Amino acid sequence: MLEMLGKLSLRNAKRQAKDYIIYFITIVISVALIFSFNSIAFSKDIQELSEMMKYFNTSIVVVSVIVVLVIAWLVNYTMKFMLEKRSKEFGTYQILGIEKKDISNIFILENVFIGITALLVGIAVGTLLYQLLTSVIMNIFNQPYKIQIDFNLNAVGLTVVYFGAIFLVALINNRRKIRKTKIHDLLYAEKQNENQLVKKSKGNVIIFCISIILFIIALALTKHTFRDGNTISGNLVLIAIITLIIGIYLFYISISSFIIKRYLENKNRKYQKNNMFIFRNLTSKINTMSVTMGTLAVIFTIVIIGCDVAMLMNGMLNNEIDMGYTYEIMISSLDGDFSRYKEYIEKNAKVKEMYEYRTYYVPETGIIAGLTGSAFEGGKWYSEDDVMKLSDYNKLREILGYENVTLQDDEIIVQCISTVQKNFEKYIEENNTLTINNKQFKIKEVRGEDFAQSSGFNSYIYMIAVTDEVLEQLNCTEVGEEEAYDFPYKLVVQTEEPTNEEFYEDLRALIPTEEIPKVEEIDGEEYEYSYERNLANVKTRGKRMSESKSFYTIISFLAFYIALVFSITSATILAIQQLSDSEKYKYRYQLLKKLGVEDSKLNKMIFKQLFIYFALPMLIPVIISIPATLFIGNIFLVGITIEEILLNIAVVLGLIFIVYGIYFIATVVQFERNINEEMRG
Amino acid sequence: MEILRVENLTKIYGKGENEVRAVDGISFSVEKGEFLAIVGASGSGKSTLLHLLGGVDRPTSGKVFIDGKDIYTLNDENLAIFRRRQVGLIYQFYNLIPILNVEENITLPCELDGKEVDKNKLEELLKTLKLENRRKHLPNELSGGQQQRVSIGRAIINSPAIMLADEPTGNLDSKASEEIISLLKLSNKKYNQTVIVITHDEKIALEADRVITIDDGRIIKDEKN
Amino acid sequence: MKEILKVENIQKYYGNKDNITKAIDDISFTVEKGEFIGIMGASGSGKTTLLNCISTIDNVSAGHIYLENEDITEIKEKDIAKFRREKLGFIFQDFNLLDTLTIEENIALTLTINQKNANEIDKKVEQISEKLGIKEILKKYPYQVSGGQKQRCACARAIVSEPSIILADEPTGALDSKSANDLLNLMEEMNKQMGATILMVTHDTFSASYCDRIIFIKDGKIFNEAVKGEKTRKQFYNEILDVLALLGGDVRDVR
């Protein structure tokens, strides 16, 4: 008896894997992804790449949980689906007199077989994937890497636990269903009408319109709240999200009747090229699938926007480095004594260029008005303007390979970060003079090359250069200790090779400190304490790059992880739906063939039908995510341009489309194969 | 006028020892407007023959001429087109597209061709088939007999050269069977439609103008009624 | 002869307070051991519901059904599987064979669940497959054999555990005429030679003519009964047609 049940379960499992091969492959891919990512999280090699990489570990585990939830949904859905399709089979088991508990056991055993197989294959694939991903990361960090088969038991354990939990929960859920079934329903399940055609209510058109309105509202709220970094309101974002979600569901619930009404009512199109058959097929399916499609669309929209934003942050960070860390080593100090640093630097790096200088402050000249209309408007928190001697300015330019500039004594140059250059140029068109210390100067030009300004080293955002002679005469402000943005004395160094994190730590250790006593009044009580204040600032490009690479890696990999998992899950669900229909409704297509439809035409029909079906859940996500990202991206315009935002959107969408597209093609191929089996009348 | 001519038609399945001659050297011809019944026990080859006549399946050897055209010189694509314009098919099971209503099922051949439907012809057909009040119904809302009536409509709408029916009453009770038989006769007489019915039902055979009996893939009798 | 099935005043309702359909409206009859009984009626007459109630697929709303003196309507949920596999055999219109098992395994399944020992099972399967002419296809899978052969297997499966009664639901519905013929002859053999009690629901007069007795159902009630007795099958066939004509309301001479 046990033998028979075991035999039955094993054979059923084999059949299940064959019939639902796309699902099986998706599970294998998911196992591979989770396993490889968790292996990375536990990999010492990777963690040692940088300080920040330990966050990678934590975030992978967190994201894995989300991924596991998504896969759990897929498994549960598919199991439920397969169970429904096999209603008659389970009814037969019951009628033959197999106990319900044995029937549950058959089902459980089948899925255990499938699960274990998927797990084993997935881990094998995951090991290879792990190698691949590790070498990519190593590459990003310019580290050499040897391929080594290194098996992380923790990762294996975690993967097994995750998938064990997924299958367990799904099984418990579905087992309950088996217990509850009435045999009558099982046996006659097929004869029930699945095909309710379009619900003929005018209501659907209204719902459709409401959904469009909700979309507009959600987007408007997004645009409004993200118009600048200070106005982001958590509440508004929440409302926007809720509005969007409701809108999406309403859209998909009403879309099928909308298609029929708009498209088919047009008599001409009705008879054109088999549209009737396709659209009736679609609408009956969309009706039953509207909630699922809505869910897929919601998930995709969130995923796409999330990935876009992640990419934007990456882009912004990269740009910031270029704009802010133009020199390998940048040290600013309260006094001009850089000897201790120079000693270390000369011992531990090959120096290409080295230069010492200082910057000055003058009371606000009004040039700040040039920031009007830019992302930085109102963003500078000290009122003085930075000034630099022309000789220093030119030397610093020379180190960076920029051309020299000349100035007359009555001229100044504005040097700013590239993203606000246009704003300053616009300002200057109308106001090309400047007053410093009651003297008027002509603004010769605005220069926007990268000049270590976004990091605040050579001034923050913008500065003014004047001739050496003029500077001698200027009344400069001595900025107090509290207000100083950065120390006035500066040292910049370019080295042959990039420096590393250790180098940075060593330099920092050299910074002198002093103790400052403070007295503060809180609630009428006086508190005395002291704190240590650094008397210098050290920045190295090496450290910054390392941080940003870590950040970049973490963000990219996580975004890729999530996006990939969602894409394959959604595509799998759609594929399963359509493929099981192709089995069930095979005879419809075969009837068409017999009545006289050419193979090529039939294939075109299938392609069209599947294309619409796969494209539909993507429709709203694509349409909504582009403007939403642009609106959110507004706050990133400090460090990134519109073109770059659009490029990022394109890349994210492109990757998702490729994965989705592969599943789509696989479904089309399998569908056609299913239809063409046994054409015998 | 000769509308169908079959020359030495043969269909062999399998190889060597397992070889089955489903149709074995059959020849005959049919005049336009004839109502022909092909009878035989199951396994006698009649269903295979029907598919060969309709261009649904290719013969191992032999020729089939419909309205003068040697249909098996056409490639698959053109054969499919030919079929939908010149052959009306009615089966015993799974005859209609369940998601299309009565009207749409009947006009399906036109839809496949991308042609406009002759409204008058459609109306007339619906009336003749007594389906006027059910034109928007779906197949699952119709009885077996009504479904077969829709199939007849579909088979006639294009005025094909030949109408082929494979055990059209096989799944129906006696009352519905009768209705179908008389409708087939009606379409035969009214539209001068050539009708070829494959059946084991003697009642249909009686209604036909001519009966060809098949056994073991060969014609053993060919009589006019 | 022994009474094997007793249906006593059963009723079956569907729906709720506002919309009640009475599928079965007080039906009573008995079936003797070894009888081959047919139930006929138009679609919607309640014949399928009747079969479902007898076969435990559905529950009656009122009344009792006794199989070998055991009240089907009172069987507890936990005992029903056992009841089905020991007392009932089924032949469905669409065979309902399990496609991941071979023909042999399909037939043996009920025996296996009944915990018979392996040798005994093999012997019984061999015997029955020989009697029903399906010995050569035992190792094949359902998708590899024809409809007629599938139905034979279903018969083998139904009879091999020697149930009290075999229930058949339009068994010839999906078969071509030759296979249908073969099946009915087979069922007759099962009934006459192997002593199986068979209750068959059908709308096909030809199938019905093989029965010993026909019960006609109309609007959930028993409308008429016809007994074959000494008549030939052809005579019985015509008698059935007459009753059906009455049932249908239309008088058409279809002989």
The owner of tokens 């893939």 is: B217
Are A97 and C83 a contacting pair at CB < 8 A? yes
Inter-chain contacts counted by CB atoms under 8 A, chains B and C: 25
Residue A674 to residue A93: CA distance in whole angstroms: 27
Are A97 and C101 a contacting pair at CB < 8 A? no
How close is the nearest chain B Cα to the Cα of A590, in Å?
A: 10
Do C207 and C200 touch, CB atoms closer than 8 A? yes
Average pLDDT of the residues in A19-30: 88
Are A89 and C110 a contacting pair at CB < 8 A? no
Tell me the chain A residues in contact with residue B83 when contact means C-beta distances shorter than 8 Å: 594-596
Do A358 and A387 touch, CB atoms closer than 8 A? no
Whether B143 is covered by a domain: the verdict is: no
The owner of tokens 């017999």 is: A594
Whether B153 is covered by a domain: the verdict is: no
Do C68 and C87 touch, CB atoms closer than 8 A? yes
Average pLDDT of the residues in A303-322: 84
Per the model's pLDDT, the better-predicted residue between A49 and C65 turns out to be C65
Nearest to A437 by CA among A410, A401, A400: A410
Tell me the chain B residues in contact with residue C176 when contact means C-beta distances shorter than 8 Å: 42, 167, 170
Q: Which of A193, A588, A595 sits opposite B109 (nearest CB)?
A: A595
Nearest to B193 by CA among B161, B169, B147, B224: B161
Neighbouring chains of A at 3+ CB pairs under 8 Å are B, C
Do B166 and C177 touch, CB atoms closer than 8 A? no
Residue A277 to residue C186: CA distance in whole angstroms: 43
How close is the nearest chain A Cα to the Cα of B111, in Å?
A: 5
Do A170 and A114 touch, CB atoms closer than 8 A? no
Percentage of the residues of chain A whose pLDDT score is greater than 70 = 91
What's the pLDDT at A267? 55
Residue A617 to residue A109: CA distance in whole angstroms: 34
What's the pLDDT at A262? 63
Average pLDDT of the residues in A440-467: 87
Residue C79 to residue C61: CA distance in whole angstroms: 20
What's the pLDDT at C254? 31
Touching check for A587 and chain B: CB below 8 Å? Answer: yes
Task: Check whether B190 has a pLDDT greater than 60.
Answer: yes
∠ CA(A235), CA(A236), CA(A241), 5° rounding? 100
**pLDDT band per the 50, 70, 90 thresholds, residue A189:** low
Nearest chain C residue to A180 by CA: give it.
C77
Which of the listed residues A192, A215, A233 is the one where a domain comes to its end?
A192
What residues form DSSP beta bridges with A355? A492
Residue A412 to residue A365: CA distance in whole angstroms: 12
What's the pLDDT at C255? 27
Residue A129 to residue A149: CA distance in whole angstroms: 12
The pairing of beta strand B35-39 with beta strand B61-66: unpaired
What's the pLDDT at A402? 92
Residue A457 to residue A332: CA distance in whole angstroms: 8
How close is the nearest chain A Cα to the Cα of C160, in Å?
A: 12
List of residues 6+ apart from C105 with CB closer than 8 A: A4, A7, C98
Are B174 and C179 a contacting pair at CB < 8 A? no
Radius of gyration, CA atoms only, chain B: 17
What residues form DSSP beta bridges with A435? A440
Task: Check whether A274 has a pLDDT greater than 70.
Answer: no
Percentage of the residues of chain B whose pLDDT score is greater than 70 = 97
Using beta carbons and an 8 Å cutoff, which residues of B are at the interface with C?
A: 41-43, 167, 170-171, 173-175, 178, 200, 203
- Position A337, amino acid: D
Whether A14 is covered by a domain: the verdict is: yes
Percentage of the residues of chain A whose pLDDT score is greater than 90 = 20
For residues A78 and A160, membership in a common domain is answered with: yes
Are A4 and C100 a contacting pair at CB < 8 A? no
The owner of tokens 């789509």 is: A664
3-state DSSP percent of chain A in helix, strand and coil, to 5: 65, 10, 20
Domain that residue B21 falls in = 2-97+160-224
Touching check for A674 and chain C: CB below 8 Å? Answer: no
For residues A213 and A324, membership in a common domain is answered with: yes
The owner of tokens 């044995």 is: A102
Nearest to A675 by CA among A631, A609, A618: A609
Whether A4 is covered by a domain: the verdict is: yes
Q: What pLDDT, in 10s, does the model give residues A413-437?
A: 999 988 888 888 888 888 888 888 8
Task: Check whether A678 has a pLDDT greater than 60.
Answer: no
Touching check for A592 and chain B: CB below 8 Å? Answer: yes
Average pLDDT of the residues in A90-98: 85
Nearest to A173 by CA among A81, A271, A301, A250: A81
Are C100 and A12 a contacting pair at CB < 8 A? yes
Q: Where are the beta strands (DSSP E) in A417-488?
A: 433-436, 439-447, 462-466
Nearest to B47 by CA among C172, C146, C206: C146
Average pLDDT of the residues in A454-463: 84
Average pLDDT of the residues in A484-493: 83
Touching check for C241 and chain B: CB below 8 Å? Answer: yes
Nearest chain A residue to B90 by CA: give it.
A595
Whether B34 is covered by a domain: the verdict is: yes
Average pLDDT of the residues in A160-171: 90
Are B89 and A594 a contacting pair at CB < 8 A? yes
What residues form DSSP beta bridges with A331? A491, A538
Lowest mean pLDDT among A274-283, A579-588, A596-605: A274-283
**pLDDT band per the 50, 70, 90 thresholds, residue A679:** very low
How close is the nearest chain C Cα to the Cα of B53, in Å?
A: 20
Backbone angles phi, psi at A489, to 5 degrees: -85, 135
DSSP chain C: --EEEEEEEEEEEEEETTEEEEEEEEEEEEEETT-EEEEE--TTSSHHHHHHHHTTSS--SEEEEEETTEEGGG--HHHHHHHHHHHEEEE-TT----TTS-HHHHHHHHHHHTT--HHHHHHHHHHHHHHTT-GGGTTS-GGGS-HHHHHHHHHHHHHHT--SEEEEESTTTTS-HHHHHHHHHHHHHHHHTT---EEEEES-HHHHTTSSEEEEEETTEEEEEEE-TT--HHHHHHHHHHHHHHHHS------
Identify the CATH number of the domain in which residue B205 sits.
3.40.50.300
Residue A178 to residue A180: CA distance in whole angstroms: 5
Nearest to A219 by CA among A235, A236, A204, A207: A236
What's the pLDDT at C251? 32
Do A119 and A159 touch, CB atoms closer than 8 A? yes
Whether B152 is covered by a domain: the verdict is: no
Whether A289 is covered by a domain: the verdict is: yes
Nearest to A433 by CA among A423, A443, A420, A447: A443
Residue C71 to residue C86: CA distance in whole angstroms: 15
Are A681 and B104 a contacting pair at CB < 8 A? no
Q: A 661-680 residues with CB below 8 A of B? A: 680
Average pLDDT of the residues in B44-64: 86
Touching check for A11 and chain C: CB below 8 Å? Answer: yes
Q: What is the H or E stretch that residue B31 is in? A: strand B20-31
Are B83 and A595 a contacting pair at CB < 8 A? yes
Q: Is the complex ipTM more than 0.95?
A: no
How close is the nearest chain A Cα to the Cα of C111, in Å?
A: 9
Task: Check whether C114 has a pLDDT greater than 60.
Answer: yes
Q: Where are the beta strands (DSSP E) in A401-512?
A: 411-416, 433-436, 439-447, 462-466, 489-495
Which of the listed residues A174, A192, A210 is the one where a domain comes to its end?
A192
Are C55 and A95 a contacting pair at CB < 8 A? yes
Which of the listed residues A143, A171, A192 is the one where a domain comes to its end?
A192
Whether B115 is covered by a domain: the verdict is: no
Are C96 and A88 a contacting pair at CB < 8 A? yes
Task: Check whether C39 has a pLDDT greater than 90.
Answer: yes
Residue A617 to residue A571: CA distance in whole angstroms: 10
Q: What pLDDT, in 10s, does the model give residues A196-211?
A: 454 556 677 788 889 9
The pairing of beta strand A462-466 with beta strand A385-389: parallel
Residue A106 to residue A99: CA distance in whole angstroms: 11
For residues A338 and A452, membership in a common domain is answered with: yes
Enter the tokens of residue C190. Answer: 């099962």
Mean pLDDT score of chain A: 83
Do A461 and A454 touch, CB atoms closer than 8 A? yes
Task: Check whether B88 has a pLDDT greater than 70.
Answer: yes
List of residues 6+ apart from A371 with CB closer than 8 A: A377, A378, A379, A380, A420, A423, A424, A461, A462
Enter the tokens of residue B212. Answer: 């060809």
Whether A212 is covered by a domain: the verdict is: yes
Enter the tokens of residue C21. Answer: 């359909």
Are B111 and A588 a contacting pair at CB < 8 A? no
Residue C40 to residue C201: CA distance in whole angstroms: 6
Are B95 and A591 a contacting pair at CB < 8 A? yes
For A228, other C-beta atoms within 10 Å of its C-beta total: 15
Top-ranked range on mean pLDDT: pick from A247-261, A347-361, A507-521, C104-118: A347-361
For residues A214 and A250, membership in a common domain is answered with: yes
Tell me the chain B residues in contact with residue A600 when contact means C-beta distances shorter than 8 Å: 77
Mean pLDDT score of chain B: 86
The pairing of beta strand B210-215 with beta strand B35-39: parallel
Residue A383 to residue A353: CA distance in whole angstroms: 33
Q: Which of B87, B95, B140 sits opposite A193 (nearest CB)?
A: B140
Touching check for A381 and chain B: CB below 8 Å? Answer: no
For residues A590 and A477, membership in a common domain is answered with: no
How close is the nearest chain C Cα to the Cα of A28, in Å?
A: 24
Task: Check whether C253 has a pLDDT greater than 50.
Answer: no
SS3 A42: coil
Test mutation, A95, A98, A113, chain C, max C CBs within 10 A: A95
- Position A183, amino acid: I
Task: Check whether B5 has a pLDDT greater than 90.
Answer: yes
User: How many structural domains does chain B have?
Assistant: 1
For residues A372 and A470, membership in a common domain is answered with: yes
Q: Which of B47, B110, B138 sits opposite A197 (nearest CB)?
A: B138
Are A598 and B110 a contacting pair at CB < 8 A? no
Domain that residue A367 falls in = 330-497
User: How many structural domains does chain A have?
Assistant: 3
Average pLDDT of the residues in A392-396: 93
What residues form DSSP beta bridges with C132? none
What's the pLDDT at A98? 86
SS3 A351: strand
Q: Which of A281, A587, A598 sits opposite B80 (nearest CB)?
A: A598
Domains of chain C from N-terminus onward: 3-248 (3.40.50.300)
Residue A420 to residue A437: CA distance in whole angstroms: 25
Residue A196 to residue A283: CA distance in whole angstroms: 9
Lowest mean pLDDT among A337-351, A390-404, C11-25: C11-25
Average pLDDT of the residues in A337-352: 90
Nearest to B67 by CA among B46, B87, B51: B87
Test mutation, A96, A188, A677, chain C, max C CBs within 10 A: A96
Are B178 and C179 a contacting pair at CB < 8 A? no
What's the pLDDT at A194? 47
Whether B12 is covered by a domain: the verdict is: yes
Lowest mean pLDDT among A383-392, A418-427, A624-633, C109-118: C109-118
Q: A 141-200 residues with CB below 8 A of C? A: 183-184, 187
Residue A137 to residue B213: CA distance in whole angstroms: 78
- Position B216, amino acid: D
Q: Which of B42, B171, B175 sits opposite C250 (nearest CB)?
A: B175
Going from the C-alpha of A38 to that of each of A49, A165, A548, A659, C227, the distances in angstroms are 17, 16, 22, 22, 76
Tell me the chain A residues in contact with residue B140 when contact means C-beta distances shorter than 8 Å: 193, 195
**pLDDT band per the 50, 70, 90 thresholds, residue A481:** low
Backbone angles phi, psi at A115, to 5 degrees: -60, -45
Whether B188 is covered by a domain: the verdict is: yes
For C61, other C-beta atoms within 10 Å of its C-beta total: 15
Q: What is the H or E stretch that residue A576 is in? A: helix A541-584
